[in-house]
Structure 1
Amino acid sequence: MAPSAAVASRVESLASSGIASIPKEYVRPQEELINIVNVFEDEKKTDEGPQIPTVDLKGLNSEDPAEREKCREELKKASMDWGVMHLVNHGIPDDLIDQVKAAGKIFFDLPIEEKEKHANDQASGKIAGYGSKLANNASGQLEWQDYFFHLIYPEDKRDLSIWPKTPADYTEVTSEYARQLRGLATRVFSALSLGLGVEEGRLEKEVGGLEELLLQMKINYYPKCPQPELALGVEAHTDVSSLTFILHNMVPGLQAFYDGNWVTAKCVPNSIIMHVGDTIEILSNGKYKSILHRGLVNKEKIRISWAVFCEPPKEKIILKPLPELVTETEPARYPPRTFAQHIQHKLFRKSQEALLSK
């Protein structure tokens, strides 16, 4: 793609061009438009309906076995009921999180021409780097979002040549965040394993362990949108990952589909949002939920989120319900597949659903 064409295709370019209405390829289908709301108004509603739970992880490190058990039970309940939650007292220092957010914001504040030096090339399969969503999703529509995508852990699998050079501390703070987040993932896997009645290290082993589990970071940049009631930053989906951890710049946008309604996530200070992904839903034979969610945009504030997807290796592991969880009364709900096969099946199924709904 020539630089001029690439720049023209960025959502940021569109947003800053002064347009009053969005191009038709960004307008969502009618059935989605009826439930797109003003995200700021929706976030303020505190007494209407269910709210995404907040789980305090402080008890996981307690000397008191009863405290540890209580914390594990809360994590288990949130994972079974919702599959998404705000984690507080997660153990990652607030100042490190602030540095990660500052570094990502500085990169996205660069002129588009500078960011284009890190552009990916999705047509050739090079998805790491700076990009925008192509029209290959279920609806054929585009999402109001630019992003930067790269593998951040394990360290020996990274390609630092594509990492932003500006700001100068980007690599240092992102690497440290990846290390600490990997430790948090282990603690969550352990608690969720015990919640299923299997040995503590089981889920982590089943998704690749320290050597093979990949942490992929996607910094999502949602520019101001002149017609937010017609667009989505991210269309409705479940994560294919095992776990997903999300930071954001305290601008609301995340919605989860719970009990037949879209629920807007509150902005909880010093929290990390965690999603249970498809991989853990499969291993748990559906006991833990991978919830449908999406991202709204607005016309007042830029939203940035930092999503880290913890993904098993694509071909090395067969994902299927743990044998201990399969019984005559609870047969396996998912067929054995590699992670790559799951992704392909999911894309195919979504495209089939899109065709059938037309």
Structure 2
Amino acid sequence: MEVERVQAIASQSKCMDTIPSEFIRLENEQPATTTLHGVVLEVPVIDLSHPDLGKIVRSIAEASREWGLFQVVNHGIPSKAIEKLQEVGKEFFELPQEEKEVYAKPQGSESVEGYGTKLQKEVGGKKAWADHLFHKIWPPAAINYHFWPKNPPSYREANEEYAKRLRVVADKLFESLSLGLGLERDEFKEAVGGDDLIYLMKINYYPPCPRPDLALGLVAHTDMSSFTILVPNEVPGLQVFKDDHWYDVNYIPNALIIHIGDQVEILSNGMYKSVLHRTTVNKDKTRMSWPVFLEPPPELEIGPIPKLITEENPPKYKTKKYKDYVYCKLNKLPQ
């Protein structure tokens, strides 16, 4: 059965003032009525090159407690490597449809890898205004190159270079998260799988939408991973739920956006917060983003780190295999 891609629907809808009903969100989700307009959220911006490591640790810990979200600058990934990553991703989505379908997620597959549109059960049959491509970029044993586009030819090189640079940033973030809770510097990373930690790349493609007031690129959610490192393009669209309102997040060129995910919240026994966020779409421009989800191996059991449990602070979360957590979350089952 052929799946209709949002990119195709968008090009058919170009001259219209309407979108198919399955993309129209319920009233309590529509961005026009639920966004606090005129206010752009100045989320914490952390300079990873600061000479005082203690200051970096305190800033990351505070942002992870209060916000579950922060942006990092001077992170050490050359802007050229980020530009190349964006360039090859954009080129892939501009290929003819039949060429993209070669990488489509196999029907009935348990894995998320591949090119696709639908991701999880949507309440009321509603759809998100987005297509995507998923594939693992690290460790080598987890990579399936079948899902890496052969075209453009420099796709693999750009992703491998970015993965190499990204791992250095991820290790710094894990260290800060550990030290921020008084743990040894490697404890957080070890708790999510150490060197077996899986780096899952996703490219989100949000084509122009005639009714951005009614649709969402991604519905409100928290990320299942430990945390997410995201590169956006210059078209704004990320929104965060804070103090009972939805806010637009400020775009900073060359910054990486860090989302604290569910596994870090669980490991910290709720001291760090998984951020509730969503994506809006633009009437005239294509928005794209490149999140990398740092995921524990499927069979790894995750629960609150024992050192953080006390009589006054008993465990708030169950310990379970990561794959079971994912299954429950995608199928909207209680954890």
Deviation at 1:32, TM superposition (A): 1.2
User: Contact 1:135 / 1:142 at 8 angstroms: preserved in 2?
Assistant: no
User: Contact 2:208 / 2:285 at 8 angstroms: preserved in 1?
Assistant: yes
Instruction: Pick from 185, 205, 225 the counterpart of residue 241 of structure 1.
Output: 225
Deviation at 1:159, TM superposition (A): 1.1
Q: Aligned residue for 1:355?
A: none
Instruction: Pick from 168, 193, 196 the counterpart of residue 178 of structure 2.
Output: 193
Output one character per residue of 1:57-82: Cα deviation in whole Å (capped at 9) or x when no partner: 112xx3xxxx1101111111111110
User: Contact 1:37 / 1:229 at 8 angstroms: preserved in 2?
Assistant: no
Q: Aligned residue for 1:287?
A: 271
Asked whether 1:112 is paired with 2:112, we answer: no
CA distance in 1, matches of 2:31, 2:157: 44
AA aligned to 1:305 is: S
Output one character per residue of 1:45-99: Cα deviation in whole Å (capped at 9) or x when no partner: 45xxx5221111112xx3xxxx110111111111111011111011111111011
1:134-153 maps to which residues of 2 (within 5 A)?
136-153=121-138
Asked whether 1:52 is paired with 2:43, we answer: yes
CA distance in 1, matches of 2:93, 2:193: 32
User: Contact 1:281 / 1:287 at 8 angstroms: preserved in 2?
Assistant: yes
Give the number of aligned pairs.
333
Q: Aligned residue for 1:13?
A: 8
Deviating above 4 A after TM superposition, structure 1's stretches of 4 or more consecutive aligned residues are 34-39
Indicate the RMSD between aligned Cα atoms, in angstroms: 1.9
Q: Aligned residue for 1:340?
A: 323
Deviation at 1:20, TM superposition (A): 3.2
Deviation at 1:296, TM superposition (A): 0.4
Q: Aligned residue for 2:112?
A: 127
CA distance in 2, matches of 1:17, 1:309: 32
CA distance in 2, matches of 1:233, 1:240: 18
Asked whether 1:296 is paired with 2:280, we answer: yes
Q: Aligned residue for 2:65?
A: 80
User: For structure 1, which segment, 198-207 or 152-161, has the greater mean C-alpha deviation from structure 2 after superposition?
Assistant: 152-161
Secondary structure at the aligned position of 1:123 is classed as coil
Asked whether 1:324 is paired with 2:315, we answer: no
User: Contact 1:282 / 1:319 at 8 angstroms: preserved in 2?
Assistant: yes
Classify 1:139/1:85 alpha carbon distance in 2 versus 1 (closer, same or farther; 3 Å). Answer: farther
Deviation at 1:351, TM superposition (A): 5.8
TM-score (norm 2): 0.94
Asked whether 1:256 is paired with 2:240, we answer: yes
Q: Aligned residue for 2:252?
A: 268
Secondary structure at the aligned position of 1:58 is classed as coil
Deviation at 1:230, TM superposition (A): 1.0
CA distance in 2, matches of 1:237, 1:112: 29
Secondary structure at the aligned position of 1:21 is classed as coil
Instruction: Pick from 23, 27, 40 the counterpart of residue 26 of structure 1.
Output: 23
Classify 1:245/1:36 alpha carbon distance in 2 versus 1 (closer, same or farther; 3 Å). Answer: farther
CA distance in 2, matches of 1:242, 1:138: 25
AA aligned to 1:89 is: N
Q: Aligned residue for 1:215?
A: 199
Deviation at 1:37, TM superposition (A): 6.5
Output one character per residue of 1:320-342: Cα deviation in whole Å (capped at 9) or x when no partner: 11111111111111011111122
AA aligned to 1:331 is: P
CA distance in 2, matches of 1:341, 1:45: 39
User: Contact 1:282 / 1:320 at 8 angstroms: preserved in 2?
Assistant: yes
Q: Aligned residue for 2:53?
A: 68
CA distance in 1, matches of 2:103, 2:156: 14
Classify 1:109/1:37 alpha carbon distance in 2 versus 1 (closer, same or farther; 3 Å). Answer: farther
Which structure 2 residue ranges, 5 or more long, are not aligned? none
Deviation at 1:145, TM superposition (A): 0.2
Output one character per residue of 1:250-270: Cα deviation in whole Å (capped at 9) or x when no partner: 110111111111121111011
Deviation at 1:199, TM superposition (A): 0.4
Output one character per residue of 1:293-348: Cα deviation in whole Å (capped at 9) or x when no partner: 00001211100100100000111x22111111111111111011111122233345
Output one character per residue of 1:111-163: Cα deviation in whole Å (capped at 9) or x when no partner: 21221121112433353111111562344311000011101100232111221
AA aligned to 2:242 is: Y
Classify 1:198/1:83 alpha carbon distance in 2 versus 1 (closer, same or farther; 3 Å). Answer: same
Classify 1:229/1:351 alpha carbon distance in 2 versus 1 (closer, same or farther; 3 Å). Answer: farther
Classify 1:199/1:251 alpha carbon distance in 2 versus 1 (closer, same or farther; 3 Å). Answer: same
AA aligned to 1:248 is: P
Q: Aligned residue for 1:356?
A: none
AA aligned to 1:327 is: T
User: For structure 1, which segment, 261-270 or 118-127, has the greater mean C-alpha deviation from structure 2 after superposition?
Assistant: 118-127
